[in-house]
Amino acid sequence: MNKKWIVALNVLVLVIVTSCNDIGEIIEEKKPDREEVVEQITATGLAVREAFKKGDVETIKLYHHPDVVKALGYNNLKVGREAVLDGLRETMANFDLEFLNEKQEELFLLKKDLVIKQMLFGLRLIPKNGDDPFVFRGRTLIILQRYDESPTGWATIHEIIQPYQD
């Protein structure tokens, strides 16, 4: 094969690779370091839990993507960060909230710029009117997306909560 054909072939390969929408189809992408991602997701969860405890909606906002969708119950779907935060402000006007450290199970799946996390949780609700506190338990499926505006680089883009039932 002469030199012109080799150059032409290299140019053709370069054009194909650079014009491909998903370059990972042709060359293997550098995968994120799983340990680093686990640390970032753990830090995200801890920051959100601490913000819930303090009633700090502005910090919670940092960890939610503007296009977040949350299914908080069968008839309670929040679309968009502001809708989620409005619902949270309403809840926090009536209750102090505190996550319990009774996590029994957590599943974690990393796919490129998405993390899918499923876990059991307990949330103590302390009514501000002096009524007795109670605990809400459930299972949540959270999808986090890489998001540069979040302090940890991750934000919730989708969440579904399934209440615990006997």
For the chain, give every domain's residue range.
1-30, 31-163
Phi and psi (nearest 5°) for 99? -70, 140
Residues 6+ apart with CB under 8 A from 121: 99, 100, 103, 137, 138, 139, 140
Instruction: Return the CATH number of the domain spanning residue range 31-163.
Output: 3.10.450.50
pLDDT for position 93: 96
pLDDT for position 114: 94
**Contact status, residue 121 vs residue 140, Cβ threshold 8 Å:** yes
Q: Tokens standing for 2?
A: 């002469």
Query: In this structure, is the dihedral angle defined by the CA atoms of residues 36, 107, 45 and 84, taken in order, positive or negative?
Result: positive
Segment-wise mean pLDDT, segments of 10 residues, the chain, 166 residues: 49 44 47 82 92 95 97 93 96 93 73 92 94 94 96 96 86
**Contact status, residue 129 vs residue 94, Cβ threshold 8 Å:** yes
pLDDT for position 97: 93
pLDDT for position 132: 97
How many helices and strands (H and E) does the chain possess? 4, 7
pLDDT for position 4: 55
CA distance 8 to 161: 56
